[in-house]
Structure formats: C-alpha cells, structure tokens
Structure 1
Amino acid sequence: MTHDQLQPTAPSDLRIGLLGSYGGCNTGDEAILKCIMSCLRAHRPDARLVVFSRNAEHTRLHQPQADEVVDWEGVPQKPVLDTLGSLDLLVLGGGGILYDGEARRYLRLVRAAHERGVPTFAYAVGAGPLRDADDREAVRAVLPEMTDVVVRDEESRLVLEEVGIERDLTVTADPALLLPPEPFTEQMMRHEGLPLDARLVGMSVREPGRAAEKLDEADYHALLADVADFLARRLEAHIVFVPMERQDVRHAHGVLSRMSAPDRGRILNNSYSPGEILGFMSHLDIVVGMRLHVVIFAALTGLPVLPLPYSGKVFDFARRTGAPALVGVAREQAGLLLAEVDRLWDEFPLRQDDLRNRVHGLQALARETCVRCGTLLDSLDGGTGGAQHAEHAHLSLAGPQARPA
C-alpha cells in the first residue's frame, strides 16, 4: 500500500508535531518535511500539523501544509513545552539529525514529550557520527522510550547499535524519495544564464563540519575542479553547481577558482523549492554529488550519478542504487575518480534499467515508513478523535523489517 493509497479515517482532532532540521537551512531537509506532511495529510487530512522550526517565518512561507509553526531555538521554552504537551504524537525527523552536537538538542524535546505522555515516532532518521559522550548518552536514554524507531539506512542502524541501542530498529529509506518534481522552465534556465542546447553536468559540494568531519577543504576543492575540467572537455559540457545550503555557494566558488576552464561553470543563484530542484535535474546529463539529496534527486530522475561519499549515508545510498562508491574524497584519488566518471558515462545505458528498478525498491521502502506511521496514528484514537497519551506512550508496533535494495 502506498502513501497515496492510505484510506483516511473519520475526522479527528489529532495534533501531530514534526521536529527536525526544518526552517530553510537545507533543501534536502525541506524536501523531507514536505514528504512527511504529505504522508500525514493523505492518512489524516483533518489532523493538525504542528512544525517545530528553526525559522518559523521561513516554514510558514514555504510549507503551506503546516497548520501551526513553533520556533524552538533561542526562545522561552515554556510555550514550546506547552505545545509539546498538547500533541497526540511527536514525529522526530526524518533526515540526519542524530549526530555529534545535534542529537542531544533534538532528544531534549523528545524526552520532554515522553514526560508529558506523548507518543513519539522516529521517521526514517539518520544517525552518525556519534562519538560525543553527551550525545551518545542522550541517544541511549531517549530512543528506547520512543514508540517506534525507523532509520533510513543500514549505516544509521549500525551507528545506533554501536552506541548501545538494543531495541528493534526498522530500516526503510529517505522520505525525499517520494518527492514529486515541479517544473523548472526554459525561462528559469535563461534567468540562470544556462544554455538550452548544450550538455549540462550537475555538481554538488558541501562544507566541512560535524556531519562531514573528514573533509579537507582545499583537497576536495582541487579534486572536484579536476573532475569538472575533465567533464567539460570530455562531454563539451557546462558545469552547474547546485547549492542545497547557503554555505555551498562559497565552496562552489572554491571549486570554480581551481578549474582551468572556470568559464564553463555556473552556480544556481536563485532560491528554489525542493520540487523545483528535482525538476531541474531533467535538464542535466550527469551528476557528480556530495550532498545526499542531490544524489537522490539525480537517481529519481534516472541520471547517471557518481556519489562522492564524504559520509556513511552517501556511501549507503550509492550501494543501494548500484552506483560507483568510492571511499573518501581526497586529491590522491583523482585518477580513480576520473576513470569512474568516464566509465559511468560510457556504461550507463546498460545500467539505466537496473537503476530504475533499484529506485522503485527504495521508494517502496520509503512508503513503508508512511504506512507504519499511519498504523500508529490509527492506534492512538481508534477513529474517536484522540486517546489518552499515557496509554500509548510505549505502544509496540509490529512490522516488516526492511531488506537491502
């Protein structure tokens, strides 16, 4: 059963909270939020969706499915906690939020929901790296108390098991695999100064940081410049950098500055919705990507894509789609990387059907998360419009374990 086929139950006054890295910081996270809300709307069109946002103004403007938006960072906490206590369910995630420096912050609110008797559902979350003692302790204390925990990849399950989580962890796939594309028109292409009659190579870069701690900025800028120059020559193509966060623009300029043919490079300058970025992929011929959701969008579009695995989540997605999966992003790998992208271009016509089948399998797994969340919602009110929180705080759900795609 797909999320579109979930049958709505009787009208209810369910209040569902959504907590994640929402508020416009990252296009991939906004895609996840859009897909989760679409799932909940399909199952419970009358439920009230309450989004906990890092930038409430951005969320109100760009996520019209949200009924309420609550700032939760840098504000007095009593209104936030009061809102938590009014919920029938708190949905954590999805996306990569359980990592060093961040996990404890999200799980503080999840713990507060538990203290108020609110059931909680981890919606295809990502985990790792998790080495900080405080974050590991928060994970060990809070996740066993959650009503159900679904992770988006095997890497996340392994990270959580290493931390000491012994409860059942269901593996599905990233919610953004269910994102519908929106048109990226010829007028939008012209506005970006992009040619309509030339091959285009999409490229995605990101900043080093807690979620990408092994990246060396100068090293990978030079590496990607080599790849961009090679593809510009090999395919007589233009290189288009696709920023998913504001910081990506600076790193795109860093790669451009090291290219021998920077005139062949462009950076998308305007702000676009996740669906429009997905729609933009239809104009590309091949993608080389660091950002997970650029890689996902390319795979959804059926493009040849070379993931650059700066972290386990990208490596895991590469493995599940059958894409070349290099180990790390370092300048000494330039020869291997150029050989891989050259082979990918030549052999992709033979691999296209396999990619399509693998993506369909991952989309089916993403729908399993939606169905699982819908089952939990049904158990909470039985069609009566809401039940007592405490009776459901530790509800155990049975469901199929995901299999590798």
Structure 2
Amino acid sequence: MRVGVSGYYGFKNAGDEAILEAIVQEVKARGHEPLVLSGDPRETAARYGVEAAKRAHPLEVWRSLGRIDLLLSGGGGLLQDKTSRTSLWYYLTIIGLARRRGKPVFVFNQSLGPLSPWGERRVQRALRGVPCLFRDGDSLAYARRLGLEAQLGADPALLLSPPPVEREPNMVVLIPKYGTEAANANLHKLADRLKGEGYEVVVLALQPGFDEPVLERFRSFTRELAWDPRRVSYLLAQAGYVVSVRLHGAILAAAAHTPFVGIAYDPKVAGFCRDAGAAFVEAPGDPEVLASAVLARHQPNWKAIEEMKTRARASFDQVLSKSHRGRVKSP
C-alpha cells in the first residue's frame, strides 16, 4: 500500500523531520511505502528512501494523490492560523483534494490551534467526516468542542530510538527559538546561572535559516545548529537535562529518556508537557524557576510518556489496518 504523507517536510526543521523519520520508520515496518509531499523532494527521497513529490506544484500534488491508497495529514502543528491563514488553507486544501480523489484521509497526530473564529469554521467544514488523531489532550478537548471526530494519539517522534551514547549528567542542553526574544533572553540568564553552578551548557538550535541570529546571543557557550533529528537525538541522549522553548526539544528529550522542562511559547508545548507530567513555564519563563527544575533534576512522569509511546504505535496500526483503507466519506 502506498501511504501519502502531508506536513511541513523538506524545510530542514528538526522537529518536523523527526516526525517524518518516525512516520517513514513505522509505515515501512508495516510493509507499506510512503509518498511524501515535500518542500525539497530530492532531499527527502534520498534521505528517507521514499517517493517524494513537490508539495507546491499543483499538478504534481494532484497526480500523487491519485497514486496513493490513503493520506496521513500530519503530524505537527498544521491546524492553526497563528502563523498564517495561507498555511491552514494549504493543509486543508490537500485534505480536500485527496477526498475528491476518493482516498481515505486521516488527520494524524497533530495539534489543534491556535485558531481564529475564521479558522475554526474552515476546520469544522473541511474535517467533517474525517477521522482525527490528536497528539495531546488539550487539542483533543478543543477538537471535540468543534464537533470533530477525534481520538487521542501521540507525537510519532516519541518512537525514535535514541542512539547508544554515554550520559553526561553535568551537561545541560538549552534549546531556544527564533521569534521568542524574551524567552531566549531568559535562557541566557539561565545559562549564566548554570555555568556558575559548574554545569556544561550546550545551546542547540533546530532550524537553519532562522535560528542563526538566536545563537549569536550565546557566543560565550558551546553552540550547535542541527536539523538532522539523529544528531539532535544524540545530543539530547547525551545530556543530563534539557530546557527547551521548541516542542520537539522536549519530545526528543522524552524519547531519549532525558528529563526536561519546557518553556511554553505556544499551547502545543504546554499540551505536551502537561500530558507528560513534565514541568513547564509559560513564556518568557523565569530563569530562577527554570534553574530550580534543573538543579532539582525534576522528572517528568515516565509512565505517562511510555503510555504516549504506546498510543503513537497504536495509531499507526489503526490507520493502516485493512478495515480503514476503504473508508472514504465525501466532503
């Protein structure tokens, strides 16, 4: 079976690439072949050993949707219009085109929101009759308020196995994000505090083309810019603790069984941390509160994280099962 995958892929964002790597891993493990709509199909095809099509080429997208057996829309934070209305319109359009092609569609382990009233109406209309799996409890509750056919899943990136690496308990990885200047400033204060306490501080940025100016703020610390999820997983598995503004800094830390605290610049960060029983602070964060979490080595609820991994695996079994392949509802 050929499985179409639609998301923010091929743009060298470590979080989205981690999601894609996990989806490819799980789809292939079940004997199926992914076809990915990508911003850089040549890179995606070479990197993951999959078919890939240019996501912004209408005719190529239409032809690709005709060749798949079902479409997974996700994962990620696609169903929001905080970034732009155009982004939401794009992902809903792909769903609509696949349905017109007569293909089963699943909203797959996404977050939901933030949405404007306009966005809510568009989502309700476009997803009528579409089975949805959401990756956190807050999104699930929101979806049900909108009347969507929703279940609880989990982020696929939780299923990535960390590489074998020796843990360095004294190493703390800080993950900033462009566009969150106040949170980044507080991360710098935290870095100074931890350095004074004798910790090795590593500042890790996850999106080339955006995060370089953020790293300039941390010139006095060890810095790295990495979009390869395998490299990110290696560093997070090596660390003794992780403090992350970015969602997938927290998710990949959880996958590596490294304790973490989140800085919630967006509801999706709070949603994941809440489900994981992990500490988090609303952006821009308080350096002293963050330092206390690191110094106390505050742990998430590892049992809850294992349950999330179980839900993530089960979500693949569910959408790829024979009983769902023929399920098509007209838009």
- Using the size of structure 2 for normalisation, the TM-score is 0.90
Shift of 1:341: 2.6
CA shift for structure 1 position 161 = 4.2
SS in 2 for 1:306: strand
Q: Which runs of structure 1 show a deviation greater than 6 angstroms over 4 or more consecutive aligned residues? A: none
User: C-alpha separation between the residues in 1 aligned to 2:168 and 2:259?
Assistant: 19
| Residue of structure 2 equivalent to 1:10 | none
Q: 1:104 to 1:281 in 2, by over 3 A?
A: same
Contact 2:241 2:260 in 1 (8 A): yes
1:201-350 matched pairs, under 5 angstroms: 201-208=172-179, 215=180, 217=181, 219-234=182-197, 236-246=198-208, 247-254=210-217, 256=218, 262-263=219-220, 265-269=221-225, 271=226, 273-329=228-284, 334=286, 337-346=287-296, 348=298
C-alpha spacing 1:84/1:338, structure 2 compared with 1 (3 Å): same
Deviation at 1:359, TM superposition (A): 1.8
Asked if 1 retains the 8 angstrom alpha-carbon contact of 2:132 and 2:149, the reply is yes
Partner of 1:11: none
Matched letter for residue 359 of structure 1? I
Q: How does 1:4-403 map to 2 (within 5 A)?
A: 14-43=1-30, 45=31, 47-64=32-49, 66=50, 68-73=51-56, 75=57, 77-100=58-81, 101=84, 102-131=87-116, 133=118, 135-146=119-130, 148-162=131-145, 164=146, 166-182=147-163, 199-208=170-179, 215=180, 217=181, 219-234=182-197, 236-246=198-208, 247-254=210-217, 256=218, 262-263=219-220, 265-269=221-225, 271=226, 273-329=228-284, 334=286, 337-346=287-296, 348=298, 351=299, 355-375=301-321, 377-380=322-325, 392-394=327-329
CA distance in 2, matches of 1:344, 1:140: 41
Give the paired residue count.
Answer: 325
Which residue type is aligned with residue 222 of structure 2? R
SS in 2 for 1:167: coil
Q: Give CA-to-partner distance per residue, 1:48-88, whole Å, 9 cap, x none.
A: 32111111122122212x1x110021x3x123212212221
Quick one: distance in 1 between partners of 2:117 and 2:305? 34
Q: Residue 230 and residue 81 in structure 1: after superposition, are their counterparts in 2 closer, same or farther (change >3 A)?
A: same
* Separation in structure 2 between the aligned mates of residue 393 and residue 328 of structure 1, nearest angstrom: 41
Contact 1:173 1:363 in 2 (8 A): yes
Give the whole-Å Cα distance in 2 for the aligned partners of 1:340 and 1:291: 15
Q: Which amino acid aligns with 2:121?
A: E
Cα displacement string for residues 268-315 of structure 1 (whole angstroms, at most 9, x for unaligned residues): 14x463123112223212211111111112223332312111111111
Per the TM alignment, residue 319 of structure 1 is displaced from its structure 2 partner at its CA by 1.6
Q: Answer 1 or 2: which has greater strand percent.
A: 2
The equivalent of 1:193 in structure 2 is none
Amino acid at match of 1:172: G
Secondary structure of residue in 2 paired with 1:285: strand
Shift of the 198–369 alpha-carbon distance from structure 1 to 2, 3 Å rule, reads closer
Unaligned runs of 5+ in 1: 1-13, 186-195, 209-214, 257-261, 381-390, 396-405
Q: Take 2:162 and 2:297, find their aligned partners in 1: how far apart are those partners?
A: 26
Identity percentage of aligned residues: 25
Q: Which has the larger radius of gyration?
A: 1
**Is the alpha carbon distance of 1:358 and 1:114 closer, same or farther for their aligned partners in structure 2, counting shifts above 3 Å?**
same
Give RMSD over aligned pairs. Answer: 2.4
- Contact 1:155 1:316 (C-alpha < 8 Å) held by counterparts: yes
Cα deviation for residue 379 of structure 1 reads: 4.2
Task: Note if contact 2:110-2:133 (Cα within 8 Å) is conserved in structure 1.
Answer: yes
Q: Under a length normalisation based on structure 1, what TM-score does the superposition of the two structures give? A: 0.74
**Is the Cα–Cα contact under 8 Å of residues 22 and 30 in structure 1 kept in the other structure?**
yes
